Amino acid sequence: MGPAEELVRRGGKLDKMVARKSTEGALDLLKSLTGYRGGIQLLQTTRIGVAVNSVRKHCSDEEVVASAKILIKNWKRLLGEPQWAPAPRQLPPAPGETPATARRKGRRDPSHCHGTPGRSPGAVPGPRRLPVLPVCPCRANSSKAKPETPRTPTSPPFSPSPCLLAPCYLTGDSVRDKCIEMLTAALRVDDDYKEFGVNCEKMASEIEDHILWGNGDTDMKYRNRVRSRISNLKDPKNPSLRRNVLCGAILPSLIARMTAEEMASDELKELRNAMTQEAIREHQMAKTGGTVTDLFQCGKCKKKNCTYNQVQTRSADEPMTTFVLCNECGNRWKVC
Q: Is the pLDDT of residue 81 over 70?
A: no
Distances (CA, A) of 55 to 44, 52, 67, 77, 241: 17, 5, 10, 20, 41
Q: Is 193 inside any structural domain?
A: yes
On whether the CB atoms of residues 68 and 56 are closer than 8 A, the answer is yes
Strand partners, 306: 293, 326
**pLDDT tens digits, 228-281:** 999 999 988 888 999 999 999 999 999 999 998 888 888 888 888 888 887 776
Assigned domain for 301 exists: yes
- Domain-embedded: residue 126: no
Buried b (16+ CB within 10 A) or exposed e, 304-314: ebbbbbeeeee
Q: Are residues 247 and 210 in the same domain?
A: yes
Q: How confident is the model at residue 65 (pLDDT cuts 50, 70, 90)?
A: confident
Q: Does 48 map to a domain?
A: yes
Quick check: is 30 in a domain? yes
Higher pLDDT, 138 or 107: 107
Whether 230 and 300 share a structural domain: no
Question: What domain count does the chain have?
Answer: 3
Confidence at 227, pLDDT banded by 50, 70, 90: very high
**Percent of the chain having pLDDT more than 70?**
71
SS (H, E, C) the chain: CCHHHHHHHHHHHHHHHHHHCCCCCHHHHHHHHCCCCCCHHHHHHHCHHHHHHHHHHHCCCHHHHHHHHHHHHHHHHHHHCCCCCCCCCCCCCCCCCCHHHHHHHHHHCCHHHHCCCCCCCCCCCCCCCCCCCCCCHHHCCHHHHCCCCCCCCCCCCCCCCCCCCCHHHCCCCHHHHHHHHHHHHHHCHHHHHHHHCCCHHHHHHHHHHHHHHHHCCCCHHHHHHHHHHHHHHCCCCCHHHHHHHHHCCCCHHHHHHCCHHHHCCHHHHHHHHHHHHHHHHHHHHHCCCCEEECCCCCCCCCCCCEEEEEECCCCCCCCCEEEEEECCCCCEEEEC
Core vs surface per residue 191-207: b (16+ CB within 10 A) or e? ebbeeeebebbebbbbb
CATH number at residue 330: 2.20.25.10
Question: Which long-range CB contacts under 8 A does 282-289 form with residues at least 24 apart?
Answer: 283/330, 284/325, 284/327, 284/330, 287/325
Rounded Cα–Cα distance for residues 49 and 72 (Å): 7
Q: What angle do CA 8, 12, 17 make, to 5 degrees?
A: 150
Q: Is there a domain that residue 214 lies in?
A: yes
Per the structure, the complete domain to which residue 207 belongs is given by: 167-267
Residue 209 within a domain? yes
Indicate the burial class of 114 (C-beta count within 10 angstroms; 0-12, 13-18, 19 or more): exposed
Question: Are 193 and 261 contained in the same domain?
Answer: yes
pLDDT above 90 for 297: yes
The model scores a pTM over 0.75: no
Q: Are residues 177 and 263 in the same domain?
A: yes
Domain boundary among 80, 110, 126: 80
pLDDT for 49 equals 78
Domain final residue pick, 58, 80, 102: 80
Same domain, 30 and 65: yes
With respect to residue 245, please indicate whether it lies within any of the assigned structural domains. yes
**Does 329 lie in the same domain as 294?**
yes
Give the percent of the chain with pLDDT over 90.
Answer: 18
Rounded CA separation 167/60 (Å): 7
183 and 257, same domain (yes or no) = yes
The CATH number that applies at residue 73 is 1.20.930.10
Residues 212 and 246 in one domain: yes
Maximum Cα–Cα distance for the chain, whole Å? 141
pLDDT tens column, 15-38: 777 777 777 777 777 777 777 666
Please identify, among 235, 267, 299, the residue that sits at the C-terminal boundary of a domain: 267
User: Rounded CA gap, 268 and 10, in Å?
Assistant: 62
Write the burial class of residue 33 (CB in 10 Å: 0-12 exposed, 13-18 middle, 19+ buried): buried
Select, from the ranges 25-34, 98-107, 299-308, the one with the highest average predicted confidence (pLDDT): 299-308
The candidate with the shortest Cα–Cα distance to 299, out of 267, 257, 250, 332, is: 332
